[in-house]
């Protein structure tokens, strides 16, 4: 497996955490706790929105869709990563590698598209409140969610098909803890590799920057509208509905820019691994915390739904 062409090879070897041999148990426990907390946080958000009728609005529909995409994204990446931290066998089958890449890109870009849709929702709610029920009708919201999932699926399919039609030669060791595009491109050989890398980079960066620019445009109109509100209380109330979304957007695109816009050049395996942790573990971990703590309506609904049940349960 260590030499020659192995484009039809049965497996790759993930060596992302091999440079931290003495920290693997600590990483396992830390990432396991963060993963469980991510699942619990997103499930709590979904359960709260489902049970609390006052939250049956487009904004919280999009938040539930975002939670689903986050759960599925972490499920596509983290369980395999946890297994590798405890195992000495870090091999991954070719099909499993392709599946992981497809689902991670699909759910990752679905997440970006849903954040864009949520920005549009805030724009309509603040800038065109009288037309909100028309522009954000149930059918319209369902279409926006469906298009977000479809867009993520298309990008995932394009990237995965493009990568796995390449010819791989030399070592089969992937210098990452997931089937990462850049790590796999380093194993590929052929005249079209550099062209393909540029094309895939252009597709991903264009999609991310396009979403980011649409969100910035939405918030430019939102800020302009809020500044025209005469009372300070009114301005604060209007902006408070955007804080949690804006915080998650900054976190999401901040970590994404570290990955997609980092300067080209030799990077150590340790740095690549630590940078990869930010978007595979840390970003999904922080999102439900931000929405739960920074969204006043959701926080009150969570207390009402779950803490009251615990209280009355103890009374009984």
pLDDT surpasses 50 at 316? no
- Residue 19 burial (C-beta neighbours within 10 Å; 0-12, 13-18, 19+): middle
Tell me the backbone φ, ψ of residue 18, rounded to 5 degrees.
-70, -20
Q: What is the pLDDT of residues 40-58, one digit of tens each?
A: 999 999 999 898 888 889 9
What pTM, to 2 d.p., does this model score? 0.89
Q: What is the pLDDT of residues 106-160, one digit of tens each?
A: 999 999 999 999 999 999 999 999 999 999 999 999 999 999 999 999 999 999 9
pLDDT computed for residue 267 by the predictor: 58
pLDDT computed for residue 2 by the predictor: 44
From 240, 252, 261, select the one nearest 215 (Cα to Cα): 252
Tokens at 56, concatenated: 């049956």
List CB contacts of 121: < 8 A, sequence separation 6 or more: 58, 59, 62, 136
Residue 173 belongs to what H/E stretch? Answer: strand 173-174
Q: Report, as an integer, the average pLDDT of 247-263.
A: 77
């Amino acid at each position: 497996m260590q030499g020659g062409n192995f484009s039809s090879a049965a497996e790759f070897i993930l060596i992302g955490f091999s440079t931290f041999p003495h920290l693997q148990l600590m990483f396992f426990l830390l990432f396991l706790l963060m993963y469980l907390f991510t699942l619990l946080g997103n499930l709590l958000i979904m359960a709260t929105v489902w049970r609390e009728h006052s939250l049956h609005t487009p904004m919280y529909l999009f938040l539930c869709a975002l939670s689903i995409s986050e759960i599925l994204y972490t499920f596509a990446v983290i369980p395999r990563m946890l297994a590798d931290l405890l195992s000495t066998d870090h091999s991954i089958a070719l099909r499993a590698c392709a599946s992981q890449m497809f689902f991670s890109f699909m759910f990752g870009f679905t997440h970006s598209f849903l954040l864009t849709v949520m920005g549009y929702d805030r724009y309509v709610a603040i800038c065109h409140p009288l037309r909100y029920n028309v522009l954000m009708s149930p059918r319209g919201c369902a279409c926006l969610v469906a298009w977000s999932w479809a867009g993520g699926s298309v990008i995932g399919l394009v990237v995965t098909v493009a990568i796995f039609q390449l010819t791989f030669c030399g070592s089969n060791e992937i210098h990452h803890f997931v089937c990462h595009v850049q790590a796999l491109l380093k194993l590929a050989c052929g005249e079209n590799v550099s062209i393909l890398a540029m094309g895939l980079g252009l597709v991903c960066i264009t999609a991310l920057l396009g979403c980011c620019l649409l969100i910035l445009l939405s918030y430019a109109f939102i800020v302009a509208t809020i500044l025209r509100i005469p009372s300070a209380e009114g301005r604060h109330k209007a902006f408070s509905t955007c804080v949690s979304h804006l915080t998650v957007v900054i976190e999401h695109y901040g970590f994404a820019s570290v990955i997609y816009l980092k300067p080209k050049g030799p990077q150590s395996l340790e740095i690549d691994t630590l940078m990869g942790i930010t978007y595979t573990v840390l970003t999904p971990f922080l999102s439900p915390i931000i929405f739960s703590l920074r969204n006043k309506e959701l926080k009150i609904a969570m207390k009402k739904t779950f803490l009251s049940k615990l209280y009355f349960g103890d009374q009984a």
